[in-house]
Structure 1
Amino acid sequence: MVHFVGAGSGAADLITIRGKKLLENADIIIYAGSLVNPELLEYAKDSAEIYNSAKMNLDEVIDVMKQGDTKNIVRLHTGDPCVYGAIREQMDRLDKLGIEYDVCPGVSSFCGAAAALKAEYTLPDVSQTVIITRMEGRTPVPPKEKIHLLASHNATMVIFLSTGLLKELSAELVKGGYSENTPAAIVYKATWKDEKVMRCTVGTLNKTAEKNGIKKTALITVGDFLGDDYSLSKLYDKTFTTEFRKGVTE
């Protein structure tokens, strides 16, 4: 059996209980060494074989996984494997090989970033939509998903894998309708011990990153959810009737 496990947003104790148990029982662990906190490997038993997939190609990863009919294998991905985890191509190969697998979700780094910011992405009358995306670099994006087109919604945006393209990102965001003064933040290694939060604006993203020496392993968040103006929710409005509570008249 191969278990795809979300390692969580960074801190070793933010893996799920299920994920931790799978790590503890794994005979083989293939982990994304460029991003996964190595402290998570301390959960592994002494006899476990450990492979760093940052140094492996897809064929090499699958070759290790072929042992899944006789051993428990954990494929440890950063955050939640459904977001930029490249797991579909691995699962398709396992299907062809007749090797069973399952997926254990994890806490995505975009959740870790919100925690670091002490922020709520979905504020009433500000934004009820979160757009998770990335800048186009060596890996292209579909034409309809260019940053400036997504930015036209003025919704909350969380931008992965784009720290090295911040000048271009700012230009795309402004082209899409955000002003240069729109609140933004760079969250470096959310929930790790060396986490760093830098609040800025759309127009100062690149300058802020350069000033703080940030070149990778950071998320960019953009939108008025980082401001101070919002409406109170209906959920706890005493005049609002719900399935569980009758509203009272002022």
Structure 2
Amino acid sequence: MVTGRISFIGAGPGAADLITVRGARRIAEADVVVWSASAVAPECIQEHARSDAELIDSSRLTREEALEIYRRAERDKLKVVRVHSGDPSMWSAVQDQHDVCSRMNVDVEIVPGVAAFSAAAAAVGRELTAPDVAQSLVVTRLEGGRTPTPAGEEVREFAKHGTTMALHLSASRTAQLVEELRAGGYPDDTPVLVAYKVSWPDELLVRTTIGELEKTVKQRKLWRNALFVVGKSLGGSRANSYHFRRAEPVARRPLRPSAPRRRSAEPGAAKPRGTNGVKDSDVAWWAVRDWQESARGAARVAATRSVPRVDAAQSQLFAEEAEPAEAAEPAVSEQPVAVEAAPKSRRTSAASTTTTRATAKATPAKRTATKTAKTTAAKRTKTATAAKAKPAAKRKPAAEPDEQGE
């Protein structure tokens, strides 16, 4: 039985390419995309959503209006995506939505995303855990905001552990944060990383200490929500932070038969990367692009809407989206036909097809010229054949009496 589908997706900290492959695929298949431009980079939606998908600004929705969109998914068998920033398992209000949708006749799923503290640590090249320094990570918020904090979960209580902490709060409350950290026992020289809009084009990463934190934030004129990572693990380089030991040999069954290795023709020859001269990274990327285009194409055939429906407040974000996407599609869709038509290739592997598409993407000009030449040659051949066929058709009736007479 065909039903609708509701997907709650973690888009990651902001960058369009930090979303998971599964999350990007769900957006590409969606009939309706609910998202907030203030929390998710527009490129994340612009890159993956179909041109005819309905885009709705979640910051303008009430709870009842959001539920009505989910009811539409049940009634009209639509694929609806609700995009959250970061990972939906923390501070995304996804639980209430998920519980309501679970009682509907639709498929419901949650797709995890990259957390902001992971992106911040990666951006500065630091590990948040270290032997003899910190083996735990506390992810919390500063109490006193709109969301009530249970007893015992105050920042000063967590600070008593002395481990690494990642705190999400408004930068305008930095003075209160410093007071809580000091009350919990952190010394003033404890390193602090301030991450504002991490992975966005205008991200800001500032290293400081607890003693200088308030002054640093004021100098940068930060007041919106930011991430504060606190702990000695952010300090200087550490030698031999973890000891690696060789694992004991274990008999395992191979996952797949291993192909024999081919030796190079010359001893010093370099091994070719990828297939047919295409880099492995390009093959992998275009494999992702293939299913994106397939998902979009299948949805276009099934969709009844031909005009994109975009919220008025978001129209300027997608002004230049349609033409480049449409221009690239025909070239991709025609490649499998060319592979199947080649002699002695009844079956084509996914890797070779993907490689062919990657090669075609890398040389669009040559492909277009070849296609034009083939089309012109076909027209000339068709014209010449038709010209030769007409005299033969006229001579055939005159020959028939001779053949009957014999």
Which residue of 223, 229, 236 maps to 2:231?
Answer: 223
Tell me which residue corresponds to 1:59.
64
- Structure 2 gaps of 5+ residues are 251-406
Q: Does 1:159 align with 2:167?
A: yes
Task: For residue 62 of structure 1, report the CA deviation from its aligned partner.
Answer: 1.1
Task: For residue 174 of structure 1, report the CA deviation from its aligned partner.
Answer: 0.4
Task: For residue 98 of structure 1, report the CA deviation from its aligned partner.
Answer: 4.0
Runs of 4+ in 1 over 4 A off after TM superposition: none
Q: Deviations over 1:64-112 (max 9, x none)?
A: 1112221001110001111211100111111233433101111111111
Counterpart of 1:18 in structure 2: which amino acid?
R
Specify the SS of the correspondent of 2:126. coil
Q: How does 1:132-151 map to 2 (within 5 A)?
A: 132-136=139-143, 137-151=145-159
Task: For residue 129 of structure 1, report the CA deviation from its aligned partner.
Answer: 0.3
Specify the SS of the correspondent of 1:145. coil
Which residue of 32, 39, 48 maps to 1:28?
Answer: 32
Tell me which residue corresponds to 2:189.
181
Q: How does 1:200-211 map to 2 (within 5 A)?
A: 200-211=208-219
Q: TM-score w.r.t. structure 1 length?
A: 0.91
Task: For residue 229 of structure 1, report the CA deviation from its aligned partner.
Answer: 6.2
CA distance in 2, matches of 1:149, 1:231: 31
Task: For residue 243 of structure 1, report the CA deviation from its aligned partner.
Answer: 3.5
Confirm or deny: 8 A CA contact 2:167 2:229 kept in the other structure. yes
Tell me which residue corresponds to 2:108.
101
Task: For residue 17 of structure 1, report the CA deviation from its aligned partner.
Answer: 1.2
Which residue of 93, 115, 129 maps to 2:136?
Answer: 129
Structure 1 residues 162 and 134 mapped into 2: Cα distance closer, same or farther (>3 Å)?
farther
Specify the SS of the correspondent of 2:223. coil
Tell me which residue corresponds to 2:345.
none
CA distance in 2, matches of 1:30, 1:234: 43
Q: Deviations over 1:120-150 (max 9, x none)?
A: 0011111010100000112111111000000
Confirm or deny: 8 A CA contact 2:170 2:225 kept in the other structure. no
CA distance in 1, matches of 2:57, 2:133: 42
CA distance in 1, matches of 2:249, 2:68: 54
Confirm or deny: 8 A CA contact 1:124 1:231 kept in the other structure. no
Structure 1 residues 221 and 168 mapped into 2: Cα distance closer, same or farther (>3 Å)?
same
Confirm or deny: 8 A CA contact 2:6 2:108 kept in the other structure. yes
CA distance in 2, matches of 1:224, 1:15: 30
Counterpart of 2:10 in structure 1: which amino acid?
G
CA distance in 2, matches of 1:53, 1:29: 9
- How many residue pairs get aligned? The number is 242
CA distance in 1, matches of 2:146, 2:96: 19
Counterpart of 2:70 in structure 1: which amino acid?
M
Task: For residue 232 of structure 1, report the CA deviation from its aligned partner.
Answer: 2.2
Tell me which residue corresponds to 2:20.
16
CA distance in 1, matches of 2:85, 2:235: 29
Tell me which residue corresponds to 2:95.
88
Q: Does 1:110 align with 2:114?
A: no
- Structure 1 gaps of 5+ residues are 246-250
Confirm or deny: 8 A CA contact 1:186 1:219 kept in the other structure. yes
Task: For residue 233 of structure 1, report the CA deviation from its aligned partner.
Answer: 3.7
What percentage of residue pairs aligned between the two structures are identical? 37
Larger % of helix: which?
2
Specify the SS of the correspondent of 1:113. helix
CA distance in 1, matches of 2:169, 2:68: 28
Specify the SS of the correspondent of 1:153. coil
Counterpart of 1:53 in structure 2: which amino acid?
S
Confirm or deny: 8 A CA contact 2:170 2:223 kept in the other structure. no
Counterpart of 1:41 in structure 2: which amino acid?
I
Say which is worse superposed, 59-68 or 172-181, in terms of deviation. Answer: 59-68
Return the index of the structure with the highest Cα Rg. 2
Task: For residue 156 of structure 1, report the CA deviation from its aligned partner.
Answer: 0.3
Tell me which residue corresponds to 1:248.
none
Tell me which residue corresponds to 2:323.
none
The higher relative CO (CA closer than 8 Å, separation ≥ 6) is in 1
Confirm or deny: 8 A CA contact 1:189 1:218 kept in the other structure. yes
How well do the aligned residues superpose, as a CA RMSD in angstroms? 1.7
CA distance in 2, matches of 1:165, 1:217: 9
